[in-house]
Structure 1
Amino acid sequence: MSTLKSLLGATALALALSSALAAPPVAPVRDVPENLHGTTVHDPYRYFENIKDTGVQAWLKGQGDYARQVLDRIEGRAALEKRIAEYSASAGDSINAIVRMPGDKIFYLKRPRGERQFKLVMREGLQGAEKVLVDPEAETARTGTPHAVNYFVPSWDGQHVAYGMSAGGSEDASLYVLNIASGKQVGAPIPRVHEKNVSWTPDSRALTFNQLKPLSPEDSETETYLDSRVLWLALGQPESAAKPIFGPTVTPQLGLARLDVGAILFAPGSPWMIARTSDTTWPEGAVFVAPVTDLAQPAVRWKRIASFDDHIVDMELKGDDLIFKTRKDAPRYKLMKLDLRNPVLARAQPLALPPAGGVIESFVVGRDAVVASVRDGTAIGLRRYRAGDTAGHAIALPVAGGAAFLNEDPAHAYGDVLYTLSSWSQLAREWRLDGETSTDTGLRKPGKLPASIDLQVTQVKVRSHDGAMVPMTIIHRKGLKRDGTNPTLLDAYGSYGHTISAFFNPNSMAWIEQGGVLAYSNVRGSGVYGEPWRQAGFKTTKPNTWKDGVASARYLIEQGYASPKTLGVMGTSAGGIFVGRVVTSAPQLFAAAIFNVGVMDAVRAEESANGITNISEFGSYKNPKEFPALLEMSTYHQIQDGTPYPAVMAIHGLNDPRVDVWHSAKAIARLQAASNSGKPVILRTDAQAGHGMGSTATQRNAMSADIYSFLLWQMGKRRAE
């Protein structure tokens, strides 16, 4: 009886709040029915895909304003943001993307404690003084729009660094080159160099980069990533002097597809250069080789080494050897070595194999050995492979059960290795592995959290609909009563083989403090067990992704962590398919859901700039064999009228280049019209954000506060003022 009263009270509270506020703008229905392979597909909000339309812009603004009013009225929301900011700042400096170059020059991105944005910095030696090379906050102050460093690539001699910078979370990066000694820019910025497909020639006197073509007003957005070119440019020369050397329109004799985005790989001391392609989303593609001396010739004589069907996903160049990671005949991946003096792939020799039950994640080629990171569930350990030892041996790490991420040594100049290690309960730190011994580098000063929380981390396996056992990590404060009253958040992704690994997020401690439970499920579509697990949540098998999610939710309820009135679910980006279809297939299990920059309309996704690059993962609606699966995985099309859906908050940056904001707009408009639960359905927007890259600490803290406040409110743990 008390449960029923609580549920009715929460519903009444939501209705009262809605009536106290101006209602969100209603989206008119302008249905566009379309016959696709014999199926009539309705699209009542197709017009939202024209984001530049003034009416659509007004609707988005109205929705964002309404969401802001709703969120700001939740009891304790401001205090929660302050607490999150305290946790974020107390965790110390944030460091990522460490690259170690010859001469012990170390480059990395660093967001100092309490600051908003990452800066590009370098030091000579682990104990050397830090030098700030690029501070995007200077551009932010000048323009009023947040800027971010998207990527960076130092020259081999350490005298210059190339980097990409973009504004407002757009990821529309331009390429800059900085003279490190003088601190001055070399030449003018080069536009439309979005990705880290930038490389320096071995002599550090020139660089190659992939540039997207300029679009005319008549071009469709789907043309954005088509027909890109790799150009070679001498240091200091203007963009007009760049020489095209690779790409679908540059080297048509190679048979490249229009979506083949190319990059060149060089290494000091190697006479070879490698060209590789991807669709920007999945790394498998074609691989070619040519002598570096061909750059001085009228045309480069590229020779094909591999095609997509050879499934090469990563590679390093050292001397005459190409070391690569592949999944061909290796569902948990393997490393191979090919002598480029006779580049016949069939002659490649095994270099490293995973241990039983392990999955090779990444690798670093050092001076005298290869070190690989090897996954075991959410833990990632390190394994050293010397010449002739394909089995390798495990290396003891300072923290058990954590995840070790290798830092780059692209010149293969060192016998030791730098890596970053985090765990579910400990802040990340950087370590130096010398032989079998790990020592703290001191790059990141250890932080001190404002409260000490004794965490319990439990690894479970959940039986899914077909008997598959799905691994899930559950985190909460020790001593938690499993009586179904705990605010619980289930999170998953389940695409591209991306696996949730052990990590410590200081912001989430604010959720744990509220008695919250966090559950991370590596549903099918992830790579937790290698390629077979990914393929089991891929295109036509995609329903396993959300069915695994439903099974995970039922487990949390059955085991007393939560109940349907205290269980929330979240998915981000491609994880939008997970969260959207979990909610639309089992709405009765959840109090609330967070759609974070999610893929909501899987049918129409490929009609966007970045959507076309995801066909390799999800399929194409134009393909009659792939269309039914896309329709089934499309949240927007699976929303049913008159259904009591849980409360939903969609989050989207208006400058998102990866998942267009119209995905969230269409889903929210449809849910607002269809749901009869009386629970709020809101769209939180940010005009200075995109897909998350480049967001400042302030933006991230505010978003976390909105997510946790919304969930706590809908779980009956907070009131609305």
Structure 2
Amino acid sequence: MRYTSLPLVLLFMTTITRAQLHPLPASPREARVDTIHGIPIADPYRWLEDDHDPKVMQWVAMQRERTETYLATIPFRDALRARLAQLYDYTKFSMPNRHKDLTFFRKQTGTQNHSVLYMQKKGGDPVVLLDPNTWSKDGTIGLDSYDASEDNRYLSYMRTEAGSDWREIHVMDLRTKRYLGDVIKWVKASGVSWWKDGFYYSRYDAPVAGTSELSGVNRGQKIYYHTVGTKQEDDKLVYEDPNEPLQFNGCWVPEESNLLLRWASKGSERGSRIFVRHVDRPQEAWHTLFSSTDDQLDIVGVHRDVVYGATTQGAPRGRIVRFTGPLDALKMETVVEQGEHPIVGIGMAGGKLFVIRMIDVHHEVTIYDLNGKRTGTVTLPGLGTVGGFGGRHDDTTIYYSYTSYTYPTTTFEYDLRTGTSKVWKKAEAQFDPGQFTARQVFVTSKDGTRVPMFLLHRKDFVADGTAPTVLYGYGGFNISQTPAFNPLLVAWLEQGGVYAIANLRGGGEYGEPWHDAGTKLKKQNVFDDAIACAQWLIDQRITTTPRLAINGRSNGGLLVGALMTQRPDLFGVAVPEVGVLDMLRYHLFTIGWNWASDYGTVADEKEFKALLAYSPLHNLRPNVDYPATMVMTADHDDRVVPAHSFKFAAMLQHVYAGQRPMLMRVETKSGHGAVNVSTMLDGMADKFAFMWQQMGFVPRYQNR
């Protein structure tokens, strides 16, 4: 059965035109001009970068009111929100983390705002350890990562508030379940690594008075060691590099090892720099394990003082290596040679290496011994995405997860002795895989490159050009868009819609060459790939321009901004979410400097001209018929600061003179990702409702 829109006469009764919207808030244009490499760059809305300015706060409040007024008139908005909640209402489990005789896992019941952390002793029943649903009335304080000490006496855990990337580390005594008084502040982009009665972590100095903790540049990350039961100001400084303030610094003590591994990462480099010393010899000099500005090394573990990892050095699709010998004379040797398909993950447990490779955007897992001899494969349920495969050297069973677009996330227990898997926990989603299908197509891009794209739709779908369609993409930072189950997409698909996921260059779908082909001076390839995918959807009569929406988050928000400015004629709707939209100033906020390896910087003249050519903010023009647009952001997003969206929305509203709505939706007390389930459902409902409304499509349910 197929679903089509109601007669247009009904649509006209519920659609608000631009003229009927609340008046636009005043957006004063300042005469601010920068000259970069001899080119004048106007920046009339720079005042919107100051998130503490009362004028900015008032402007945002008026934008929010205007958008809410529009969305409240959509007759199916509330029913859609209820349907999304219904689809999300099932029990979800994380993959378990076994630590000696204790197993930790998270469980989320129905539409709980946050998952609950459980602990289970060997042979015992699970007990609640941490329930972040009790930490705040509005659900804006959540649990991030957690780590048990080597002796299972303590648990460190990170709390996050209002979606910010800042973290607080707290400590619990696992014997008494008592919260200790340890509180570590100003932690960002850090893990926790236990050693003896304390742990290593990375943090920044507290923001200087008068600067914004949510938008100021993060400089000078330092590594500290904290002893349980002491104050943060007494923590021991382990490492800092005053000469390199714009880099990440971290360290790790691998399990069952006497080594301390330290890594440093500069935003202008793609490569890895990793150093090592004995953890119990603090006066020992750091020895270089690996150092490259371009090649990467991901450490998987240490076995008998031999360090194992995967590198792209001399192998753009990856090879497995190990480092042997004394620390002052380490030698790298190949364990598993580069293959036809890129290595995208590696696990180590029970004396085995589990190597995950990507084949046309799905995973396969091959098992090797520690000398590189192939000993088998892991049989998976289908063409999908896996994770996990880590453990201790004496483990005989380990866990991994599997998911696909039509296979809800399931955790399996793998027996290393028999080579067999059994289900540990399976998500019982309200989803009938017999009704839907996911198929892969390949689209030819502008330069002839073959670009994969997945299409999700009902099995009875007929390509007649009427389907409401979303094209989603990312295309950056070596991040692959692999198949994963999302119950909320069912709300779109069951109405006869199509959801298309484009695997654009800039991602990691075909290894480092695929990533590199979508960066810096080659970033336009990403947009050309997406344009080709959009045109394919139209040419194949999947949809038409009025019913085609472009959507993406973060770097994907940049994709949306670039596509709607380069090819506004292709799309009926555009929804950039938490997007990087001012490409000439992205590096001046929080950790934006870390993106230079993908984007380039204005300091380099060639890179500046490339950035200017596609920067969404700087390519909005008057007298252009842009698609209906809802810019989505959040007031506590300190990764891609909301100033990107504020300035883009102000400029779009200034240049556009047509009848389509140009809205900005600002989530409060939320960050780069939804702060909780309720916020996530609200955002998805508003996004889908806006898209349907602008496409002239009315779903079969209405508000009651």
User: What range describes the TM-score normalised by the shorter chain of this pair?
Assistant: over 0.9
1:85 and 2:70 matched: no
**Does 2:556 match 1:557?**
no
Which residue is equivalent to 1:252? none
2:221: which partner in 1?
228
- The one-letter amino acid paired with 1:276 is W
**TM-superposed deviation, 1:241:** 2.3
Q: Residues 277-325 of structure 1: CA distance to partner in whole angstroms, max 9, x if unpaired?
A: 2248987432111112213xxx442122222336234212333111122
Q: Could you report, residue by residue, the CA deviation over 1:160-193 in whole angstroms, capped at 9, with x for unpaired residues?
A: 1111102111122111111112111233311012
User: Match of 1:718, SS?
Assistant: coil
Letter in 2 for 1:116: N
TM-score by length of 2: 0.93
- CA–CA distance in structure 2, aligned partners of residues 179 and 340 of structure 1: 38
* Aligned partner of 2:499 among 490, 499, 518: 518
Distance 1:169 1:626, change over 3 A: same
Return 624-633 or 640-649, whichever deviates more: 624-633
Q: 1:350 to 1:245 in 2, by over 3 A?
A: same
Which moved further from structure 2: 39-48 or 504-513? 39-48
Q: Does 1:672 align with 2:653?
A: yes
In structure 1, distance between residues paired with 2:212 and 2:602: 18
Please report how far the alpha carbon of residue 224 of structure 1 lies from its aligned counterpart in structure 2 after TM superposition. Answer: 4.3
Change (3 A) 1:549 1:628: same
Aligned-pair CA distance for 1:605? 0.7
Q: Answer yes or no: is the 8 Å Cα contact 1:576–1:595 preserved in 2.
A: yes
Q: 1:274 aligns with which of 250, 254, 261?
A: 261
Distance 1:279 1:390, change over 3 A: farther
CA deviation string 1:235-257 (max 9, x = no partner): 222223211111214xxxxxx62
Within 5 A, what are the aligned runs for 1:532-547? 532-547=513-528
Structure 1 residue aligned with 2:197, among 189, 193, 205? 205
Pick closer, same or farther for the CA change 1:16–1:240 going to 2, 3 Å: closer
* Alpha carbons of structure 1 residues 17 and 509: separation in structure 2 relative to 1, 3 Å: same
SS in 1 for 2:157: strand
Is the contact between residue 350 and residue 393 of structure 2 (CA under 8 Å) also seen in structure 1?
yes
Q: How far does the alpha carbon of each residue in 1:69-106 deviate from its partner, in whole angstroms, 9 at most, with x for none?
A: 1112112110011011011013x22425x432222x22
> What is the DSSP-based 3-state SS (H/G/I as helix, E as strand, rest coil) of the residue aligned with 1:625?
helix
Q: Distance in 2 between matches of 1:9 and 1:663?
A: 38
Matches within 5 A, 1:91-102: 92-95=91-94, 98-102=96-100
Q: Relative to structure 1, is the Cα distance of residues 151 and 282 closer, same or farther in structure 2, using a 3 angstrom cutoff?
A: farther
The RMSD of aligned alpha carbons is 2.5
Cα deviations by residue, 1:682-712 (Å, 9 ceiling, x for unpaired): 111111210015x211111111111111111
Q: Deviations along 1:44-80, whole A, 9 cap, x unmatched? A: 2111111111111111111111111111211211001
Alpha-carbon separation, structure 2, partners of 1:157 and 1:372: 29
**Match for residue 291 of structure 2?**
307
CA distance in 1, matches of 2:126, 2:520: 47
Q: Residues 122, 647 of structure 1: CA spacing in aligned structure 2 closer, same or farther, 3 A cutoff?
A: same
1:169 equivalent in alignment to 2:163 = yes
Structure 2 segments unaligned to the other structure (5+ residues): none
Q: Helix, strand or coil: the match of 2:688?
A: helix
Equivalent of 1:182 in 170, 176, 180: 176
| Structure 2 residue 618 is the aligned partner of structure 1 residue 637 | yes
- Do structure 1's residue 360 and structure 2's residue 354 form an aligned pair? no
Establish whether residue 37 from structure 1 lines up as the match of residue 34 from structure 2. no
In the superposition, the TM-score normalised over structure 1's length comes to 0.91
The 5 A counterparts of 1:589-604 are 589-604=570-585
Moved more, 466-475 or 64-73: 64-73
2:368 is aligned to 385
SS in 2 for 1:190: strand
- Structure 2: distance between partners of 1:391 and 1:508: 39
Runs of 4+ aligned residues of structure 1 deviating over 6 Å after TM superposition are 5-15, 220-223, 280-283
* Cα contact 1:599–1:659 (8 A) shared by 2: yes
1:512 partner amino acid: L
For residues 211-253 of structure 1, what are the alpha-carbon distances to aligned partners after superposition, in whole Å with 9 as ceiling and x for unaligned?
111121366878643212111122222223211111214xxxx
Secondary structure at the aligned position of 2:606 is classed as coil
In structure 1, the residue matched to 2:109 is: 112
Name the residue aligned to 2:68: 68
Partners of 1:334 and 1:264 in 2: CA distance: 23
2:628 maps to 647
Specify the code of the residue in structure 2 equivalent to 1:46.
Answer: R
Structure-1 separation of matches of 2:143 and 2:40: 45
**Whole-angstrom distance in 2 between the partners of 1:257 and 1:341:** 28
Q: 2-side partners of 1:193 and 1:463: how far apart?
A: 44
For each residue in 1:313-359, what CA deviation from the matched residue of structure 2 results, as whole angstroms up to 9, or x when unmatched? 421233311112211111111121002524546x2111224542x22
Are residues 1:129 and 2:112 paired? no
Deviation at 1:393, TM superposition (A): 4.1
For 1:354 and 1:110, the matched residues in 2 are separated by 38
Matches of 2:97 and 2:389, distance apart in 1: 6
Cα offsets for 1:478-533 (capped at 9, x unmatched):
12110110000000101101010111100110000111101000111011010001
Partner of 1:324: 309
Kept in 2, the 8 Å contact 1:86–1:450? The answer is no
In 2, the alpha carbon distance for the partners of 1:281 and 1:63 equals: 36
- Judge conservation of contact 1:654–1:690 (CA < 8 Å) in 2: yes
Query: SS of the residue aligned with 2:562?
Result: helix
Q: Which amino acid aligns with 1:277?
A: A
Which residues of 2 match residues 390-409 of structure 1 at below 5 A? 393-397=376-380, 399-409=381-391
Q: Equivalent residue for 2:141?
A: 147
In structure 2, the CA distance between the partners of 1:392 and 1:223, relative to structure 1 (3 Å rule), is: farther
Q: Which residue of 2 aligns with 1:348?
A: 332
Q: Is 1:53 aligned to residue 37 of structure 2?
A: no
8 Å CA contact 1:369, 1:385 repeated in 2: yes
- Within the alignment, does 1:376 sit opposite 2:359 as a pair? yes
Partner of 1:717: 697
CA deviation string 1:246-278 (max 9, x = no partner): 1214xxxxxx62223222221343222111122
Give deviations 1:450-492, integer Å, cap 9, x for gaps: 6665112211110001100111011100121101100000001
Judging changes above 3 Å, is the alpha-carbon distance between structure 1 residues 450 and 501 closer, same or farther for their aligned structure 2 residues?
closer
Q: Rate the CA distance shift 1:28–1:448 in 2: closer, same or farther, 3 A.
A: same
Partners of 1:39 and 1:612 in 2: CA distance: 22
- Aligned counterparts of 1:407 and 1:326: Cα–Cα separation in 2: 19
